[in-house]
Homo-oligomer: A and B are copies of this chain.
Amino acid sequence: MSSPFILSPELTAEAAKLIPYTAFIGLQCGESNGHPLFALPYKRENIGNIFLPALHGGMLGGFIESCAVLFLYRQAGLAELPKMIDLSLDYLRSGKPETTYARCALTRQGSRIANVAVEAWQSDPAKPIVVARCHFQMPAAQ
C-alpha cells in the first residue's frame, strides 16, 4: 500500500452526521500526504458478486458519490451539501474483498455547477478499479 491512509475520526464523525449512509457503509475520512483521502474497509455485506467474489459496483458507486459530496462540501466551504445532478461510473477492475480508497479532484467549480472527478483503487493507486465524474448543483446561498 503506497498511499498511507491517516484516519480522521473527527471528519469521519462529521460525515456520519451529514450523511447517515456513510456510517452505514463504514466510510472513513482521512488524508494522505496532506490531501483528503477516503477509505472503505471491507465488509462481507458489500459483496455484489459471490462468483468472483467482488465488491458490489453500486456499493462502490455509493462510496464514490459520498466521497465526492464530502470533498466538495469541505473544499468549497459550503454551509449545506451540494445536490448531485449526474454520476457516471466506469468499472475498470473487479473490487476485491479488501479496503478501497478514493481520492477526488475538483475539475471545475462555478457558482452554480461543480464537477468532481474521483478515482478509487485498492492495493495499488496506479491501478484504479473505478473512475467517476459527477456534476453537482451548488447550494444557492454561500
Q: A residues within 8 Å of B by Cβ?
A: 17-21, 23-24, 44-51, 56-59, 61-66, 69, 80-81, 83-91, 94
Tell me, in angstroms, the Cα distance from A37 to B121 when the chains sit together. Answer: 33
Whether the Cβ atoms of A62 and B66 lie closer than 8 Å is no
Contact B88 A49 (CB under 8 A): no
Of the A-B pairs whose beta carbons lie under 8 Å apart in the complex, a sample of 12, sorted by A's number, is A17-B50, A19-B49, A20-B48, A23-B45, A48-B69, A49-B81, A57-B65, A57-B84, A58-B66, A61-B61, A61-B87, A86-B91
Q: Are A85 and B91 touching (Cβ within 8 A)?
A: yes
> Copy number in this complex?
2
Smallest beta-carbon distance A47→chain B, Å: 5
CB-contact partner of A84 in B50, B69, B81, B91, under 8 A: B91
Flag if A87 contacts B21 (CB, 8 Å): no
Instruction: With both chains docked as a complex, state the minimum distance between the C-beta of A2 and any C-beta of chain B, in angstroms.
Output: 26
Residue of B nearest to A47 (CB): B20
A56 and B19 within 8 A (CB)? yes
